[in-house]
Amino acid sequence: MLALAAALGLIMGVVIGGLGGGGGVLTVPALVYVLGQGAQAATTSSVIIVGITASVGAVARIRGGGVDWRNGVALGVVGIPAAYLGTVLNRDVSQPVLLLAFAGLTIVAAAAMLLNSRNDGERSDTEEPDRPEPDAPSGSGSTAVDTRTASARSELVVTALKVVACGAVVGFLTGFLGVGGGFLVVPALVIVLRMSMALAVGTSLLVIVLNSISSVVSRFGDMHLDWRIIAPFVIAAVIGTVVGKRVADKFSGLALTRAFAVLLVAVGAFVAVESFVSL
């Protein structure tokens, strides 16, 4: 059992270190279907495993400037109350329903990532070089400045609303499904906030850590943990995180995006089939 937990942890660590998420997507099914835990126990164990692993990955990314602190902290803070609500609801949902919700969300997130990567690829193929804008007519300087200021303010408000919405959704699902939320944070950062994949990976790890802390705190007094499984899982996952980052550094953002999406589809389909069978 120890060796099996360590092997699964190593795989999860490589994924979360390389892709900035997906660790919970792998950990929950591994704990349920391979190591025999119930859905509620598995979601609690997963939050602890993924949170610790993500903290190691975040430190590695911070050194290279690969974290958007402002948006990452904002997403995490907004997600704290939402994670608590998700944790409360988790206790009242049956295992098949919980796992079906898990599967459905992974597939939706994967479809969004694949669609976005295809659109980005098409845009990069058809983009024209930037052309210098014509000089503004004399006397229109103040009007141009006012227009840019209003546009910047409007963009800031829109970005803030996006961060609040994404943080609330991810936080809730962290508590409800027992995942760090990276499989949703990465698509949200790339698609909604238009971050590069490299920056989204590091920022996602920061959000995962914050959401995991919130979810664990809200579970105090109702946690039944099997440290014989969690301890070797975490140790191997931490090692895998370092390996995953080094592997990811050798690939383009587009390749990582598509690999992330394929992983989500595979895991989501497996969990969906297993859950339907058990209904």
pTM tops 0.75? no
What are the residue ranges in the chain where pLDDT is below 50?
A: 126-131, 133, 136
pLDDT of residue 130: 47
pLDDT of residue 64: 64
When divided into structural domains, the chain yields a total of 1
Q: Let me know if residue 139 belongs to a domain.
A: no
pLDDT of residue 127: 47
pLDDT of residue 186: 77
Q: Let me know if residue 132 belongs to a domain.
A: no
Q: Which residues contact residue 204 at a Cβ distance below 8 angstroms, ignoring those fewer than 6 apart? A: 20, 21, 72, 182, 185, 186, 189
DSSP symbols for 190-228: IIIS---HHHHHHHHHHHHHHHHHHHHHHTTTS----HH
Q: Let me know if residue 162 belongs to a domain.
A: yes
Q: Let me know if residue 141 belongs to a domain.
A: no
The distance of Cα 126 from the centroid of its chain, to the nearest Å, equals 30
Q: Are 45 and 12 in contact (CB under 8 A)?
A: no
Q: Sign of the C-alpha dihedral, residues 194, 199, 203, 208?
A: positive
What separation in angstroms does the CA of 204 have from each of 120, 179, 185, 277? 20, 12, 6, 33
pLDDT of residue 119: 62
Q: Are 218 and 4 in contact (CB under 8 A)?
A: no
Q: Let me know if residue 129 belongs to a domain.
A: no
Q: Let me know if residue 130 belongs to a domain.
A: no
Q: Let me know if residue 136 belongs to a domain.
A: no
pLDDT of residue 55: 85
User: What range defines the domain where residue 261 resides?
Assistant: 2-123+146-278
Q: Let me know if residue 229 belongs to a domain.
A: yes
End-to-end CA distance of the chain: give it in Å, rounded.
28
